[in-house]
Structure 1
Amino acid sequence: MWSQIDANMHLRHSAYADFAAQARLALLEKAGMSARQFVIMHIGPILFREELIYLREVNANDTLRVTCEMTKCRPDGSRWSIRHEIYRKDGTKSAVVNVDGAWIDTQQRKLVALPDDLMEKFKAIPRSADFTEVVPG
């Protein structure tokens, strides 16, 4: 989209984060965890850290593919990390977006673990080859 292009005629920096966020929501939806369900349960994903590593330009009208895989997670799913890789149509990796997140109770404004039914769905999210289970301590 024209609104995602900067003065240098390539994808603006924050658009990469927008594409990663959209891919995360699609990933959760595919796992059976809809945004509507989160609203009803008063739970939502939050980010503590977002890192963007730019590798190659994305120009106006390029078609992109965004991958998502979990790189870290606590056994109860309360804290997690996801890596996104953004590729141009020609297969060139253009960026890597790493995020660290958790779940928040949107009414109490406190961090929470997922209910058992959602945790079962969350476990189905693809894991990276370098996946690490993080045990708090």
Structure 2
Amino acid sequence: MSTPTPSHEVRVKIRWADVDAYGHLRHSAFADWATFARSEWFEGVGLTPAVFAKEGTAPITLEETSTFLKEVRLGETLTLRMQRAAASADGSRFVHEVTFERNEVPVARYRMTGAWLNLQARRIVAPPALISEAVELLEKTASFRQLD
């Protein structure tokens, strides 16, 4: 495992395939880029698909929401910042928030409610120690809360 970093940022340039007929970032591209940021963070801390398979546990999405604050257009470069917004006491459920920023100004927020799935039993479980320890290092939002 590599050394985890407590916060995560990734810079992305909006591509032709990301925009709609009106020339602005389409709503579903926000979810695609947020998933990319989350995957990059997981891999950056050593939580690769092979590790998830070996541990028999992987993240799943239960709900996604996006809040759009400003228009984003083709060719713009954004910084995506991923943080933990909430987690259950045992870590089995969580909320990740990705803030999309242009020049340090938020243009959108994406929230993903997820859980850890045991790949064999097909049940939501608390993550194994290897996963839990890495996830605990992800920076928390200022409004971080514990899920019921």
Same fold (TM over 0.5): yes
Does the CA contact (< 8 Å) of 2:57 and 2:128 recur in 1?
no
Determine the structure 1 residue equivalent to 2:135. 122
Q: TM-score of the superposition, structure 1-length normalised?
A: 0.89
Task: Give the number of equivalent residue pairs.
Answer: 134
Determine the structure 1 residue equivalent to 2:124. 111
Does the CA contact (< 8 Å) of 1:70 and 1:81 recur in 2?
yes
Q: TM-score of the superposition, structure 2-length normalised?
A: 0.83
Partners in 1 of 2:90 and 2:43 — Cα distance? 19
Does the CA contact (< 8 Å) of 2:116 and 2:124 recur in 1?
yes
Please tell me whether residue 52 in structure 1 is matched to residue 66 in structure 2: yes
The Cα of 1:108 is off from its aligned counterpart by 2.3
Partners in 2 of 1:34 and 1:75 — Cα distance? 24
Partners in 2 of 1:119 and 1:92 — Cα distance? 31
Structure 2: gaps (5+ residues): 1-14
After superposition, where does 1:1-137 map in structure 2 within 5 Å? 1-88=15-102, 90-134=103-147, 136=148
The Cα of 1:133 is off from its aligned counterpart by 2.4
Please give the per-residue CA displacement for 1:16-39, whole angstroms capped at 9, x wherever unaligned.
Answer: 001111111122223332222112
